[in-house]
Structure 1
Amino acid sequence: MNEPIITFDKVVKTYGDHTVLDQLSFQINKGEKVTIIGPSGSGKSTVLRILMTLEGIDGGVVYVGGEPLWHERGPNGLEPAGEAHLHHMRGQLGMVFQQFNLFPHMTVLRNITEAPVKVLGLSKAEARERADELLELVGLSEHARKYPHQLSGGQQQRVGIARALAMRPSILLFDEPTSALDPELVGEVLNVIGRLAEEHDLTMLLVTHEMRFAREISDRVLFFDRGRIVEEGSPERLFTAPSQERTREFLKTTLEDMS
C-alpha cells in the first residue's frame, strides 16, 4: 500500500483574508482508509470539497491517481484545468454528504440509477442490476420503491452511500456522514461504512466527529487545526499517546463530550 492515489502539495485555500488551508501537504495511498479529525473550521470538509471540484484552490497542486486535479499538463508546465478535465477527474471520486442530498421526487431506485445511466451511459437494466446489488449491500432491498421522505435519516444516508458507490469510484469521501442523524440511527450507518472498509478495496477519506469509529476503521488519522496537519499516525498511537499538546487538548475535550 505505498502507491499514492491522493496528494496535496502545498495547497492553499483562502476566503478573503481568511486562510482555510495553509500550505497543506499530505498523501493517501491506494486502498488506505484515512480519517481527518479536528475542531470546527480547521479545513477538514474543505479538503473533501476540493477533491470533489466543488471548491477551487488558490495555491499548490492536488493530484488524484497521479494526475493533477485542478491543473492540466500543458507545453509550459501546469495550466488551470478546463471543464472537460475536471469532469474526467471527477469520475474517480464519490462523496457521501452530511445532508444526504437525495432527489426528493425520485424513488430510492431512481436516485441510485439516474447518474449511472446519464453520466456513465449504462443501460437501465445494467444500472438496475447494480442498484439491486448495492441496496442489498446497505440493507435496503425492500425499500427500492419508496421515496426519501418515507425513510428514516439513517436509511436515507445508506441510500446516499449506495448512490455514491453506483458510480464505481476508486475513492470514496465521507463528510460527517452521521452528524445529521438522530443518535439512535448513527450505528446503522457506521456499520455499513465499516463493512465497506473491510470488504472492499476502496480508498476512503472520512471527516468525522465520531472518535471511536475513527479509531476502529482507520489505517491512519490526521489531526487538523487551522488548515494544517498538527499530527498524524496510526489510530492506536494518535488516540492513546499523541505527541502534540494541541492534539491531547482536542482529544481530551472531544472524548469528555462523548462520555
Structure 2
Amino acid sequence: MKIAVITGVSKGLGESVAESMMGRGVHIIGVSRSDNEKLNQKAEENGVSYTHYPCDLSSQEELESVFSRINQHVKEQSPQKVYVVNNAGVVEPIDRVGALDANQVVKHVHINLIAPMLVTNMVVEQLADIDVDIINVTSGAANRPVYGWSTYGGTKAGLNYFTETTAFEQKQRGGKHRTVAFSPGVMDTDMQADIRSSSEEAFADVEKFKALKEEGKLRSPSVVADGLMKLLDEGFESGAVYRVDQLID
C-alpha cells in the first residue's frame, strides 16, 4: 500500500498530483482549507481512498493538531511507501521592500516556509520507521532576485536550504526519509492570475507574465504533475532541486 499526503490539494498542482497518483493506485490524504469533490469521484474510479483534512496552514496550532492525526492514520495503515508533497503556497504580498504589508508577510512565511518545515519535522519524528519521500514545491525565484518578490523568493530559498539540510541529516543518521525540492515553473493556475493582476510599480515583470498567458506558454498543472511523476519513477538525489523542464519536453 502506498499513501500520499498532499497539501494545497483543492486546486492547481496539488489537485493534479493527487489525480496522477490515484491513477497509479496511491491512496490520497489531502490537506487544504476547502475540500475537492472531484477527487472523491476520481478516487472511486481508481479504486483508492481519498481522505480530506481541512487545515489552515498559517496556524501552527491547527497544523500540529491535523498532522498528528494524519501521521497516526498513516501508521495504522502500515504502508510500504509514503509520499509527502508540501505543495501549498501563496505569492502575496507582491510589492517592493518598504511597501510590504506586515500581516501578509507573516502569513506568507507561515504557509510557504514554516508549514513545510513543521510538517517535515513531524513526519521525520513520528514516521521514523516508514519509507517516506518528502517533496517540497519550490520556485526558480529562490535563485535570483525578482523585483516585488522578496517574500516569495526568500521563502523558497529557505525551503531549498531546509530540503538540503534535512537530506544531509537523514544520510548522516541512516534515516529512511528522502527529500527533494521540485520547481514547477510557470503554470496556468490561480496564482498566475494573482501575479498578472499586480501593478507594474509593485512587480516589474508583470507584462512578461501577461504575455506568457496571452501566448499560451503556461504549462497546465497536469503536465507539471507528469513531470513530478517521472522524477519519482526515475529516482532522485535526496536534497537536490529539480526543475520541471529537466523532466519533460
Answer yes or no: same fold by TM over 0.5. no
Structure with more of its chain in helix, by fraction: 2
Structure with more of its chain in strand, by fraction: 1
TM-score (norm: length of structure 1):
0.30
Larger radius of gyration: 1
Greater RCO (Cα-Cα under 8 Å, separation 6 or more): 1
